[in-house]
Amino acid sequence: MTMLPGVDAARVGRPSRGSLTHAPPWDRACRRPTLRVVSERRIRIRIGDQRLQLLQGGEVVAEYRVSTALRGAGERAGSGRTPRGRHRIRARIGAGAPRGAVFVGRRATGEICTPERLRAEPDRDWILTRILWLGGLDVGRNRKGEVDTQRRYIYIHGTPDEAGLGRPGSHGCIRMANDDVIDLFDRVETGTLVDIEE
């Protein structure tokens, strides 16, 4: 629940468990809301073994093979590397889109990725099916300046190259099998924490 300036949180009720809470409700020095995400679910991405884990209450409830950056880990803009540290899901994009739907600039093009299209454009960096757009939470490491994950457009997304999962191969994003990214998308929400570690 995001409060607007001048709105008393006590009047609209306290947020339920698993929602956004205010701690404190306002940072009066900068007059902007300070929100802390409280959720039992979070994502852990392990670059070293090319795995994405969904955790609930500290226990792994789902695990998927992924493909992170071919160039390894790194945060700088233009590096083509997968950023490390704590993130959150900034936006969930593609709900209800068909499996294999093609996205460009986070918008569905109306195309479906087919074997014929893959043969015609073998070097294209395909973004398919669903997008979980990540935003960094560690100022100076993956947020703001030349290391801003969100401005680098780092996503968790579907890929046509499912045979390449389990080894590095992306340009910085986290690639998943299309069925897996649909499953993950349906289990998480905007604000879910994402930890990326080596």
Burial of 96 (0-12, 13-18, 19+ CB in 10 A): exposed
Name the percent of the chain lying above pLDDT 90. Answer: 78
Which 3 state secondary structure label does DSSP give 126?
Answer: coil
Domain boundaries, the chain: 67-197
Query: Given a cut of 60, is residue 29 above it in pLDDT?
Result: no
- Rounded to whole angstroms, how far apart are CA atoms 72 and 172? 8
Q: Between β-strands 193-197 and 85-93, what pairing exists: parallel, antiparallel or unpaired?
A: antiparallel
Query: What is the largest distance, in Å, between two alpha-carbon atoms of the chain?
Result: 59
Q: How many CB atoms lie within 10 A of CB 131?
A: 25
Which 3 state secondary structure label does DSSP give 55?
Answer: strand
Average pLDDT over residues 175-188: 98
Lookup result for tokens 């690639």? 175
pLDDT in tens, 31-62: 333 445 546 899 999 999 999 999 999 999 99
Question: Rounded to whole angstroms, what are the CA distances from 38 to 1, 19, 135, 137, 153?
Answer: 11, 6, 16, 14, 24
What residues contact residue 140 under an 8 Å CB cut-off, 6+ apart?
147
Query: Given a cut of 60, is residue 145 above it in pLDDT?
Result: yes
Chain-centre distance of CA 153, in angstroms? 10
**Can you give the pLDDT at residue 33?**
35
Q: Give the architecture-level CATH label for domain 67-197.
A: Beta Barrel (2.40)
Read off the tokens for 106. 């986070």
**Can you give the pLDDT at residue 39?**
64
Least confident span in 78-82, 86-90, 121-125, 128-132: 121-125
**Can you give the pLDDT at residue 40?**
86
> In whole numbers, what is the pLDDT of the chain averaged over residues?
86
pLDDT in tens, 76-106: 999 999 999 999 999 999 999 999 999 999 9
- Rounded to whole angstroms, how far apart are CA atoms 173 and 133? 9
